[in-house]
Structure 1
Amino acid sequence: MEDSVERRIYSAGKTFLCFVVFLICIQPLLLCYFVVSVSRLLWRNFLIVKNQHLTFVKKDNLRSFSYTARNPGIINVILHLQGEPNIDAIRDGIERAVLQKKMKSGELMFPKLSAKLVTCWGFYAWKMCPESFVVDNHINVYPPNYRGRPVTNSNIQDYISNIVSKYFPIGQPPWQICVIPVVGTTSLTRTEEMPSTSSVESASGNDTEEEQHSSSDFTMRLTSTEHYYIIVRMHHLLISEEPDLRLSDLLAIDSKSTTLSGRNEADIDRQIPKSPLMDIMQYPVYIPQLYMRLQIGLTNAWNEFKSKYDPYVGKSSTIQAPVTMPTTSTEFPSLDDSKLNTVETLPIETLPQLFASLLISYVTIASDFYKGFYATRHHPMIKIKFLNSLINREVKRRNISWEVIWHAMWATLNPIRITKVSFEWICWACVAISILSPHLIYRELQAFRYCFFQGHVGYPDTLIGFMFAYIPLCYNAFKEWLRLVGIFVQAPRFIYEELIEIHRSDEHVLQNISLCGRKVLSWSKKIDVNDIRRACSKHGVSPSELYMSANSSTIMELLHEYESVPVPKQIRVFASLHNHDFLQGYLNNEDYESGHLSLILPMEKVSRKQLKQIRQNFRVARENQVGIYFLFQLHKRFNLLTKFLPSVWTVIIFNYLSRRFSITVTEIVRNKNALQQRANMNITCWGHDVLDVLFFSPPHSNGSISLSIQQFGEHILLGVISDAQIHPLHIKLSDGWTKNLEKLF
């Protein structure tokens, strides 16, 4: 009991201290934001003026700071297609559907695909050079043999790893499409007369002769090849700078949705829990409802107020002097006064009418000034003239003058009028008490009956109806507000514990490997979606928890390969989920739903106990990391970290975080129901079916391994991309994941 009390006191003190430190750091961070933003803006504008032949990247994202020349951040997408590779069809499809695609204005849709990526004094920039762009340099055809052996399913992963480990050629736009035919009965004959179609280059300059064969060295006899692979390699800045680019557009893929027949798993799907990486933050429900009701109530009250006091009569009350937007930036919106004199107005006789007219005029002026503020030139005198014209318009419309004001004051304060109005109020009160009171009491009783016995508001304009509608809503909104305040107060402490505080017991050998920057990849065997469904239903867990259980055991087996370093009892990984269709969706997936958690994985073999522990860790992480999730969402939308800190500090912090979470696990689902029984028939423009798609995003900065669980059609597999220093142990991750997952079936 004493330990529990001491623990609570320590936790409360730590929370208070972290929150106070956060409040103290707000002012320096705001000052740093101002200095960094202004200095970057001035420096970038200076470089734009001095280098007008370059198009600078204006958005500073975290990838730009985390990736370097040694680790350039190349996104790799592998497509497995059925049929015989037709290089001419691939080239023609890319040129027609992407490179030559134009907008309505006549400009190219994707101009940066033919631009070189350069650096200029700390900023990335695009150097447009369409005259030197040759599409054949970006469509590379590789020979169907690797190290003296034909390329088959047994060595295709090593072959692709060897390709993706190479850098982009220097002086060319940062994207490539590599075609790898898999040998069936296809034969390749070397010839010297065939003209060069494309070339395979490497920026490192140390490739072997066997790896530098191009399509000019071979004549393909494409007679019965059953399948082949296409690797799409693109720089991350090219993806972020071309937000409308889709992989299906790049390879001219058409998708037709079809319902799979013969299997009905709807009942099982309802029993599978939702992924703990979804809906991490419970968004307010009652606060938006209260806001909407108040907004509707205020809008109705304002409309009634205007209909009563706005000095327009009949149809003429809808006539307003239109505001004409300027045709050039040197003008300000003009006001058409020709219709003002045709409006029949009511005279302002009393102070209430005067105050109502002034209030309506103020709101109208503010609304019109806000609408036309950005339509005027930025010069302050133009905006002042525009505001003055709005004021003169309202004064003229409502006939407001000093004479009218004086007349309204005298009419309101006249003793005879005061006596008359007082007598009218007394008479109305007597009538209301004697006649209207029984009717009002009856309505209140009826409202009480409806509210407390039937559960809905039958008379919303009564006091009982108003209280029944707003008191529970205000109470629940207040509870949500208290919960949000608690999250805000506790967020600095949890951010410190998860991202900054050192945990010696969680350190492992992958955090201290000297990385070379080159990447290798592999992928697991395909697992049927229905097997995952049955396993989730059997253990009562979500697919994400099932995947993490297999990942935990697989990572433990990998760490045991380093015999000189002990394996910790648990490690921390960065787990995320992306609701993103990487084939038909946009490659720049910043706008898609996602979830992020710092998750503790126990280094144990697959078992029910380990699966239960992972589920408990998920629950604790969801409770404690709402602030971290909100911080990631802010950074995702506003690039928070890159705007508040200088580039050097940003790089240092991100290097530390990427070393702390050297293993990242990403689950990519194409819809919210990750196991939804739905398939797509994806066909290229040259008529080949897409058998599989694999998406590989390299680990950031000091990260060593990136794992991605992906679903395509009716199967799920694990994609592994890691630093080349881990080769060949990275294959154990893909092979072991399948074996450990099958143990849970």
Structure 2
Amino acid sequence: MFHFLLRLLSYRKFGEKRGLRSALQFVMATASFNFLDYFGFRYLFYTTFGLLLAISTTPPLVVYYPISKWSRKTWVRFVKWRNPSCTIVEETSVRSTLDQGRNQGIYTLLVQGKTIADGVRSHLLELTAKRPHLRSVLKRILGLYAWEQTTEFDVDNHLVTASCSFKGRPITESNLQEFVSDVTEKFLSPNFSPWQVFVVNCYLNGEETKVCIVRAHHLILRHSHLTLADFLPLKHSRENWAYQETDSPLTNLYSKPSAIPRLRQMLTESFSNYWNEFLCNNDPAENPEILKKQIGIFHCLKIAIIVWVSTVKEVTKCYKKIEGFKFTEYFSIFTREASKRNFRAHVVLWAFVSAVNPVEILYSGIHWAWYTCVTLTLKMPILLIRELNALRSSQKHYHPDTLTSMLSCYLPLIFQAIAEVVSITLIVITAPKLILEELFFKPVQTNHQLRPDSLCGRKIVAWSEEVEIETIRKISSITGASEAEILLATTAGSFKEYFKKKELQTPPEILVTAKFVSQKSIFIRNHEAKGVLCIGLPTKTPLFEDDPVETLQVIQENVQLARSKQKATYALSAAESSSGLVSSYTPSIVLKLALLYLTRRYSLSVTHVDGDLPVEGVDAAMYWRPPQGYCSMSVTLHRHGKGVRLGIIGDKHIAPQHSIITKAFPRSVQELAITVGVPRTPSRSRSPSPPSPLGSASPATSPGH
């Protein structure tokens, strides 16, 4: 009762604003949750909620899913019929669902080096000869994407080589960002395949170098199985990319199941061995001598099982290869497999006659009685002695044909697999409630300050000065926070300065979707599916205002809370990025509405890029993931070599104020370092080492403007 009164008093203002009845309802709801937590019934409640939700939603989904699939397939066939010269993109994805004219999914990579563009034209000619989508036009036909082949493909329409000047001035550190923004803000031509490589010679740090800007639509990368770096003739070997561990809290939310795959592999191998032995002893196709003598009913059943399994394999192959395969052809395949083994009706008939023959029955009875007697008197003692020897031995694998050896191998693995299944089941059961709570019902102030009234669709970019990674590591060793958490905290400080200088009302926090991207996945395509975490970046702290240490502490708490609660959403987003699980099972309209709502709620996307870069000739790199939906800005925290930069890509309507964030990032890192006691490093201008390759925007210039 006392706890209830405290809740009521704390929500007195809420009751005055919305009415006492609403306040009481809210307090009762929260009190009930605390009651369940207090008595340890939380998981019981989550389980009940998940089961009730599953029971209530399963019947509509069972009815709707086949209807939705049939409707989409029918629509795809209709569009194919109307446009026979086009290749329709049948699968859907989150990126495709969010695509719109004013916010396209164009990925961008900037690479700087002296020799990175040598032979780029011949490389692109070779690449486009192998990838037909790079020569096709991507169109939108009746709500679906389609590839249309063009006979007038010219690689020079996609490869642009610029001069060393921009707006009458040489391209240097002072106007490089302005030049790159001028490139990225131009739309890709709808008459060509949606990719472009831009090469420019410029002078950085007084030396002539080359900067390459690669832009490509996400469908180009997905369907052609390419990365942005594949468009450049970079010299690297796959063997140089060793497995790189990362301490980023944006990945590895849960350990991947290890016992289940191992158990599956071992069972598959054992079953394969037993099945091959079974075929060798019972398949007439492998051993024609089998049917030269009379077979019994049990041997007849074994041959029938072999014929049925072979038929299922052939049906599966035909169904995958032949579009429109009808299961009425199943009987013809079954007949063909049976005829291969001379398994006909008279064989089955004679086996049945043999089974009911009294002489055969008497013979079988004597055979089984003799076998049982020999087994009990001679074989059983030998088996028991072998089992006892295996039990006393510490090396069970020295006795491979014993039951003890098999149990010692399989039992621990089975128990571990059961534990993993229980853990996965709990995540699945509690997922609906947690997903709804985290994504939709969590109260938050919408971040309208980061979004213009309307999007023009043109994208501008900016990046910060390079911050030494050694400074971040020193802060990490003092505070105990990971490098990613420190970068998120300094990013929050940069946005805080952005709100102040624009004289906007600073929200309590900025809700972001954060994702980890390995450096390897930018330069070499792999199948490492990473999920997304929803995190709040605090711009106001509860105790001290503008305290970077408290901001870091709140970031750590938010990250740990997200890691503990968002395992289901992380797994779903990872499965969607790798196989399109969510988009294939969710109606397109429902998915689009939900995604548009979420992009309005989480109005900023953050990408953490980490890992070594063993690519010859690359002096600096910057990667941008495009914002989509209602998002107008995307942030990348990109580490390369001994430094890390903050990069921004956003709608042109936010220019030129977006450069405030990139310029504030080094100051935010330095402020946090001074606060925690990290000694200040000398500035780069006083250092004998050369300044950062990509440089930074001059205060007199406005990137993208």
Structure 2 length-normalised TM? 0.78
Partner of 2:563: 622
How many angstroms does 1:545 deviate by? 2.2
User: 1:246-274 CA distances to partner (integer Å, 9 max, x unpaired)?
Assistant: 544433232379999xxxxx9xx99x972
Quick check: 1:392 aligned with 2:339?
Answer: yes
Structure of higher CA gyration radius: 1
The answer to whether structure 1 residue 732 and structure 2 residue 660 are counterparts is yes
Distance in 1 of aligned mates of 2:595 and 2:481? 33
Pick one of 610, 615, 628 that aligns with 1:680: 615
* Aligned partner of residue 423 in structure 2, secondary structure: helix
Aligned to 1:281, the other structure's residue is in SS state coil
State the match for 2:182 in structure 1: 162
Distance in 1 of aligned mates of 2:507 and 2:619? 39
1:592 paired residue among 528, 542, 553: 528
Pairwise CA distance, 1:490: 0.4
Q: Which residue of 2 aligns with 1:253?
A: 234
Relative to structure 1, the CA distance from residue 180 to residue 461 in structure 2 (aligned partners, 3 Å threshold; closer, same or farther) is closer
* AA of the residue aligned to 2:497: E
Shift of the 695–395 alpha-carbon distance from structure 1 to 2, 3 Å rule, reads same
Partner in structure 2 of residue 651 of structure 1: 592
Deviation at 1:424, TM superposition (A): 5.9
Q: 1:241 to 1:290 in 2, by over 3 A?
A: closer
The answer on whether the counterparts of 1:166 and 1:518 sit within 8 Å (CA) in structure 2 is: yes
* Residues 414-423 or 547-556, more deviating: 414-423
What residue is the counterpart of 1:310 in the other structure? Answer: 282
After superposition, give the CA deviation of every residue in 1:156-205 in whole Å (9 maximum; x if it has no partner).
223322332233356444344444443689xxxxxxxxxxxxxxxxxxxx
- C-alpha contact 2:124 2:155 (8 A) present in aligned 1: no
559-568 or 386-395, larger mean C-alpha shift: 559-568
- Give the Cα–Cα distance (whole angstroms) in 2 for the partners of residues 44 and 350 of structure 1: 53
Percent identical residues: 23
The residue number in structure 1 matching 2:432 is 492
Name 2:143's counterpart in structure 1: 122
Alignment check: 8 A CA contact 1:350 1:412 kept:
no
- Report what 1:547 is aligned to: 487
What letter matches 1:285 in structure 2? S
Which of 130, 152, 160 does residue 172 from structure 2 map onto?
152
Cα distance in structure 2, aligned partners of 1:471 and 1:736: 58
Distance 1:497 1:561, change over 3 A: farther
Return the match for 2:603 from 662, 667, 683: 662
Q: Which amino acid aligns with 2:616?
A: M
Q: Distance in 2 between matches of 1:248 and 1:284?
A: 32
Query: Shift in Å at residue 619 of structure 1?
Result: 2.7
State the alpha-carbon separation in 2 of the partners of residues 300 and 111 from structure 1.
Answer: 43
> What displacement does 1:730 show?
1.9
What secondary structure, in the 3-state scheme, does the structure 2 residue paired with 1:429 have?
helix
* Letter of the 1:125 counterpart: A
Indicate conservation of the 8 Å contact 2:446/2:600, yes or no: no
Q: Distance in 1 between matches of 2:87 and 2:643?
A: 43
Q: Secondary structure at the match of 2:293?
A: coil
Change over 3 Å in CA distance of 1:13–1:380 after alignment to 2: closer
RMSD (CA atoms): 3.9
**Residue in structure 2 matched with residue 283 of structure 1 by the alignment:** 256
C-alpha displacement at 1:577, in angstroms? 0.8
1:495 to partner: Cα distance: 0.8
How far did 1:394 drift? 2.7
Equivalence for 2:106: 74
Deviation at 1:523?
A: 0.7
Partner of 2:53: 21
* One-letter amino acid of the structure 2 residue matched with residue 28 of structure 1: P
Which string of whole-angstrom CA distances, capped at 9 and with x for unpartnered residues, describes residues 660-709 of structure 1?
Answer: 1111111123xxxx3x5x63323xxxxxxx32221222211111321112
Within 5 Å, give how 1:185-196 maps onto structure 2. none
What is the CA–CA distance in structure 1 between the aligned matches of 2:487 and 2:107, rounded to whole Å? 23
Describe the shift of the 1:556–1:15 C-alpha distance in structure 2 as closer, same or farther (beyond 3 A). Answer: farther
Corresponding residue of 1:189 = none
Matched, 1:571 2:510: yes
Asked if structure 2 preserves the Cα contact closer than 8 Å seen for 1:597 and 1:629, the reply is yes
Distance 1:448 1:395, change over 3 A: same
For residue 503 of structure 1, what is the aligned residue in structure 2?
A: 443
Quick one: structure 1 residues 632 and 428, their matched pair in 2 at CA, closer, same or farther if it must change by over 3 Å?
A: closer
Cα deviation for residue 526 of structure 1 reads 1.8
Q: How does 1:62-141 map to 2 (within 5 A)?
A: 62-82=94-114, 93-99=119-125, 108-131=129-152, 133=154, 135=156, 139=160, 141=162
Q: Distance in 2 between matches of 1:384 and 1:442?
A: 51
Could you tell me which amino acid in structure 2 is paired with residue 109 of structure 1? K
* Matches of 2:654 and 2:458, distance apart in 1: 11
Report if the CA contact (8 A) 1:549-1:606 is conserved.
no
- Provide the C-alpha distance between the structure 2 equivalents of 1:583 and 1:473, rounded to a whole number of angstroms: 37
Whether the 8 Å CA contact 2:635–2:646 is kept in 1: the answer is yes
What residue ranges of structure 1 are gaps of 5+ in the alignment?
103-107, 186-223, 261-265, 320-339, 683-689
Map of 1:61 onto structure 2: 93
AA in 2 matched with 1:154 = S
* 1:336 matched residue in structure 2: none
Per-residue CA deviations over 1:258-303 (Å, capped at 9, x if unaligned) read 999xxxxx9xx99x97222232232222233333343344444445
When residues 741 and 562 of structure 1 are mapped into structure 2, their CA distance, relative to the original with a 3 A threshold, is: same
Distance 1:179 1:431 in 2: 83
Distance 1:482 1:582 in 2: 32
The verdict on how the C-alpha distance between 1:412 and 1:184 changes in structure 2, with shifts beyond 3 A counting, is: same
- C-alpha displacement at 1:488, in angstroms? 0.9
CA shift in 2, pair 1:5/1:462, >3 Å: farther
Is the alpha carbon distance of 1:45 and 1:463 closer, same or farther for their aligned partners in structure 2, counting shifts above 3 Å? closer
Counterpart CA distance in 1 for 2:370 and 2:155 is: 93
Match of 1:210 in 2: none
Instruction: Report SS of the residue matched to 2:523.
Output: coil
Bigger shift: residues 344-353 or 509-518:
344-353
CA distance in 2, matches of 1:354, 1:622: 57
Q: Which residue of 2 aligns with 1:196?
A: none
Residue in structure 2 matching 1:523, options 437, 444, 463: 463
The 3 A distance-change label for structure 1 pair 537 and 401 is: same
What SS does the aligned partner of 2:531 have? strand
TM-superposed CA distance for 1:480, in Å, is 1.8
Q: Distance in 1 between matches of 2:247 and 2:657?
A: 33
State which of 707, 713, 718 in structure 1 corresponds to 2:635.
Answer: 707
Q: Return closer, same or farther for 1:79/1:349 CA change in 2, 3 Å cut-off.
A: closer
User: Could you tell me which amino acid in structure 2 is paired with residue 720 of structure 1?
Assistant: I
C-alpha contact 1:365 1:394 (8 A) present in aligned 2: no
- Indicate how the Cα distance of structure 1 residues 310 and 127 shifts in structure 2: closer, same or farther if over 3 A, else same: closer
3-state SS in 1 of match to 2:650: strand
Where do 1:249-398 residues align within 5 Å? 249-255=230-236, 274-303=247-276, 305=278, 310=282, 318=286, 343=289, 345=291, 347-348=293-294, 350-367=296-313, 370=316, 378=325, 382-396=329-343
CA distance in 2 between counterparts of 1:234 and 1:731 reads 24
Letter in 1 for 2:463: W
In structure 2, the CA distance between the partners of 1:167 and 1:471, relative to structure 1 (3 Å rule), is closer
d(CA) in 2 for partners of 1:145, 1:431: 95
Q: Tell whether 2:668 aligns with 1:722.
A: no
1:425 aligns to 2:372 (yes or no): yes
Match of residue 217 from structure 1:
none
Quick one: which amino acid aligns to residue 294 of structure 1? L
Q: In the alignment, is the contact (CA less than 8 A) between 1:582 and 1:695 conserved in 2?
A: no
Any idea what the Cα deviations from partners look like across 1:298-337, whole Å, max 9, x if unmatched? 4444455556x5277xxxx845xxxxxxxxxxxxxxxxxx
**Contact 2:387–2:403, Cα closer than 8 Å, also in 1:** yes
Given the alignment of the two structures, is residue 48 of structure 1 paired with residue 30 of structure 2, yes or no? no
Provide the secondary structure at the position in 2 that maps to 1:650.
helix
Change (3 A) 1:25 1:471: same
